[in-house]
Amino acid sequence: MSPVFRRTTAFALVALVIAACATSPTGRRQLMLVSEDQAIASSKQAYVATVQDLNQKGQLSKDRATIARVNEVTGRLITQAIAMRPDSKDWEWSVVVIDDPETVNAWCMAGGRMAIYTGLLQKVNPSDDELAQVMGHEIAHALANHTAEKMSVQMASSIGVAAVGIVADNHIAALGGAALAAVYAVNRPNSRAAETEADRIGIELAAKAGYDPAAAATLWAKMAKVGGSAPPQWMSTHPNPDNRQKKLAQLEPQMREFYDPHADHPVYKL
């Protein structure tokens, strides 16, 4: 590769990155080479394929009480998510309970497609207030467009300057489409900044939905005990600084202005 070509493509990549900057709901700057619509479309394909596969393997929970509980908590959170981001009313919100007692995990893809594993429900044994913190945190990732952000960061760092033309012309095709969306939504860790942001948005969603904000700190205390020296998957794929529990506890007082457990809290029908 000639020096001139390297300089030209380097300038092109820098220009593309600058043009692709966006702002998250908390005012944080984000790199967005992949649009939210592209991330949502790819996530939909991945989610449908994942759920179909789980269903064929008999790994979708049929426990009506568990499903009803998850739908109730998640439905109240979705109502608040739509109030926070009105455009998300057009998302195809959904949640499934995956019957896997060994996996302590939950996730939300772009566009509001969610899952929670029975391992988290059984091993952590969260109260409804604590369950709301789990699902609120995951919903927050979708509201803040973290799937597209992760895909964009990976694109900028691994495709290479020489592929900048491909990047500009065909974002998703160059990355493998729906399969990549699934990988980034479920398996790849978010940045520390994105995690802090999801904590902040999630605890607010939960408080507005009528769930005690004090549960954010108690949830993380429970999660820490579950894995001992080996943290559960939900923690291992979510960077957990030592002061995370402390920061959530510090947020509690200001979240109490949103919290009214006796109010009527509408439930989005899932």
Residue 138 lies in a domain: yes
Identify whether 195 is a catalytic site residue: no
Is 85 in contact with 183 (CB distance < 8 Å)?
Answer: no
* Nearest in space to 127 (alpha carbons), one of 186, 208, 11, 214: 214
Q: Residue length, the chain?
A: 270
Q: Is residue 266 part of a domain?
A: no
Could you tell me if residue 93 is inside a domain?
A: yes
- In this prediction, residue 32 carries a pLDDT of 57
- State the pLDDT at residue 172: 45
pLDDT at 91: 97
Counting the structural domains of the chain, the total is 1
The answer to whether position 260 is within a domain reads no
- The answer to whether residue 159 is domain-embedded is yes
Residue span of the structural domain in which 10 resides: 5-255
pTM reported for the whole predicted model = 0.80
3-state helix/strand/coil string of the chain: CCHHHHHHHHHHHHHHHHHCEEECCCCCEEECCCCHHHHHHHHHHHHHHHHHHHHHCCCECCCHHHHHHHHHHHHHHHHHHHHHCHHHHHCCCEEEEECCCCCCCEEECCCCEEEEEHHHHHHCCCCHHHHHHHHHHHHHHHHCCHHHHHHHHHHHHHHCHHHHHHHHHCCCHHHCCHHHHHHHHHHCCCCHHHHHHHHHHHHHHHHHCCCCCCHHHHHHHHHHHHHCCCCCHHHHCCCCCCCHHHHHHHHHHHHCCCCCCCCCCCCCCC
Contact status, residue 137 vs residue 198, Cβ threshold 8 Å: yes
> What is the CA angle 171-95-30, rounded to 5?
35
Specify if 264 maps to a domain. no
Token pair 């980034």 is found at: 184
Q: Which of 138, 195, 197, 204 is catalytic?
A: 138
Per-residue confidence (pLDDT) for residue 247, from 0 to 100: 86
pLDDT along the chain (270 residues), means of 10: 47 45 60 75 88 96 98 98 97 98 92 96 97 97 81 60 43 50 57 81 97 94 73 56 77 96 96
Determine, yes or no, domain membership for 85.
yes
Is the CB of residue 84 less than 8 Å from the CB of residue 78?
Answer: no
**Residue whose entry in the numeric block shows the structure tokens 């600084």:** 241
